[in-house]
Amino acid sequence: MINSGKLTIFAMSFMKNLMYINKANDFALDVGAEVWHPMVSVIHFDELGEIPHTLNKMGVYAIFVQDNFPTEPTYGMGGYDTSKGSLTAASPGQIIGKADNGHREVYHGWALLFDPEFMRGTVFEQRLTDYHFFSYNVNEALHTTQGEKQVLWQLIERIRIFISHREQTALTDRIVQDYIVLVCDYCLLFYQRQFQTSSAQKSDLLARFHKVLSDYYERQLQHRYGVPSVKYCASELCLSPSYFGDVVRNATGDSPTRIIQHFLIDRAKSLMIGGMTVSQVADELGFEYPQHFTRYFKKHEGMTPSDYVASMRKQ
């Protein structure tokens, strides 16, 4: 049983160690980097020397493209491995980094941070639903190739050169916004490369996905939680829903939701052919009411469960 007192102490300690990055330049000011723009920050870690660890509660968007990261860093309450150098992205509300333990490290690479308000009403907002990497768990970091890393470093460096040599105007801001969108588009492109896994890896993911669904019913979880969700399946596979969705779509052409639908419909057909009533099948699958199952089945099959059973009996 969880000790609520210890949990409260842990939570208080965890929150006490947080550094709040409410503005793009808060992180730069903390590590001693120069500030060039009120709403955009570009940091070249190679210029900073040794810096302390920080556990950061993000109020801004951030992209880190580095050769090295803190050992055993944190995303929320979990860890992730970025020992090989990679790209990680964060959005407002996320917790990333590592609590200060008194040690200082030298990092190599670049960081780009920008306030949400700076990108308000821009193409970035329109494409944010495509930039799923901002909601990936950080253990799903992009392991960049050397060429990909150089492209991103050069783009981020260009932003710094531009904002450090130009007076801020509406026009220069628009150019910086376009640069940020370009960086994000390249991140999206490079993640798609990472999703191009081998056939064996794709088959393994699908096999594990189907096992999660089968185990869900084997453990009778539908009677506690209803039909399985994408969020549940992603969690069982140690992936964020966004990353899980992108990997599955890339491997199959279908969304996780569609695969769950196929699984439920196939299971429903087998149960009905096996002699269960519509009410029994609805309960067995985790639907709250039989009519919910009937609507669900008709939506995907174009006929009611009863009509399906009747058509099978005629064959």
| Cβ–Cβ under 8 Å, residues 21 and 56 | yes
How many folded domains does the chain comprise? 2
- Same domain for 184 and 61, yes or no, is yes
| Cβ–Cβ under 8 Å, residues 228 and 234 | no
Spacing of C-alpha 85 from chain mean position: 18
* Domain end (from 177, 195, 213): 195
Q: What is the pLDDT of residue 10?
A: 38
- Same domain for 191 and 203, yes or no, is no
- Same domain for 63 and 95, yes or no, is yes
* Domain end (from 195, 229, 258): 195
- Same domain for 172 and 203, yes or no, is no
- Same domain for 128 and 179, yes or no, is yes
On the question of pLDDT at 125 being above 80, the answer is yes
Q: What is the pLDDT of residue 2?
A: 43
- Residue-number span of the structural domain to which 80 is assigned: 4-195
Which run of H or E residues covers position 236? helix 230-236
**pLDDT per residue over 255-301, tens digit each?**
999 999 999 999 999 899 889 999 999 999 999 999 999 999 999 99
Measured distance CA(62)–CA(139) in Å, rounded: 16
Q: What is the pLDDT of residue 138?
A: 57
- Same domain for 169 and 203, yes or no, is no
State the CATH number of the domain containing residue 266: 1.10.10.60
- Same domain for 308 and 178, yes or no, is no
State the CATH number of the domain containing residue 12: 2.60.120
- Same domain for 185 and 309, yes or no, is no
| Cβ–Cβ under 8 Å, residues 192 and 171 | no
| Cβ–Cβ under 8 Å, residues 109 and 86 | no
> What do you get for the CA distance between the two ends of the chain, in Å?
55
On the question of pLDDT at 27 being above 50, the answer is yes
- Same domain for 125 and 251, yes or no, is no
In DSSP notation, 56-94 reads EEESSEEEEEES---SS-EETTEE---TT-EEEEE-TT-
> How would you label 19-47 residue by residue, b for 16+ Cβ within 10 Å and e otherwise?
bebebbbbbbeeeebeebbebbbbbbbee
- Same domain for 133 and 93, yes or no, is yes
Q: What is the pLDDT of residue 11?
A: 40
